[in-house]
Amino acid sequence: MIDSEGRLFGRFNLLDLLTVLVLAGAVLGFGLAKAGRAGIHAKIRGQAIAEVDCYFRGPVENPALIKPGEKTFITLRNVPYNSVRIVAVKETPQLIAVAQPNGTVKGLPDPGDPLGKDILVTIRDKAQMTDDGVVFGDSKIKVGTPIDIEGYRYRLHGSIVDVRISPIKAK
């Protein structure tokens, strides 16, 4: 079968044949992965509208820059996604626990950080549904996922605190 020069059946060089087989397998695997048939992608069950509550804490002098109804660009796990619609914005001052004379504890605005705000931003976009949850682009959306929102005059870093799903309404 293999002669003294390393040829298979006296015609094919064994190393060349193995190289061609490995390259063909790599090209086939890449093609299947791009087509979504390689098993490395989650199975998509459908689409839905996802509302995501994002919590941001930090110095924000003018929280009115983030307005409901406008679009903001988001970055999930340091991967840029797309622009999404802002549904609601709730802003409160950062509070610290202060002991009261009667022994109770009361939350009061932090005097050491006058620009410190807690901001809860609700965003909405179409999402893909998988057996493992909700996906924006290629990023899973779960409580605790790091998220950045970015507009013309702001960029905030926070995390996801709630995910709600509603079906897409037929037009």
Q: Where are the domains of the chain?
A: 1-41, 44-167
Query: Span 67-75, mean pLDDT?
Result: 92
Specify the DSSP element, H or E, that contains 112. Answer: none
- Residue 147: predicted pLDDT: 94
Region 156-165 average pLDDT? 93
Range in 4-8, 61-65, 82-86, 118-122 the model is least confident about: 4-8
Q: Confirm if 161 and 90 have CB atoms less than 8 A apart.
A: no
The CA-atom distances, in angstroms, between 139 and each of 80, 166, 167 are: 10, 19, 20
Q: Which amino acid is located at 19 in the chain? A: T
In words, the CATH class of domain 44-167 is: mainly beta
pLDDT at 171: 55
Q: Within a 13 Å sphere around the CA of 149, how many CA atoms are in the beta-carbon half?
A: 26
Cβ-proximal residues to 129 (8 Å cutoff; 6+ apart), any chain: 44, 45, 46, 47, 48, 135, 165
Average pLDDT over residues 109-123: 88
pLDDT for the residue numbered 53: 96
Evaluate if residue 112 carries a pLDDT over 70: yes
Per residue in 7-64, pLDDT (tens digit) is 767 677 767 778 888 999 888 888 877 765 545 455 778 888 999 999 998 877 777 8
Strands (E), the chain: 7-8, 12-13, 44-59, 71-76, 79-93, 95-99, 105-109, 116-130, 133-136, 139-141, 146-150, 155-167
Mean pLDDT of all residues belonging to the chain: 85
pLDDT digit string (tens) for 132-150? 888 888 788 899 999 999 9
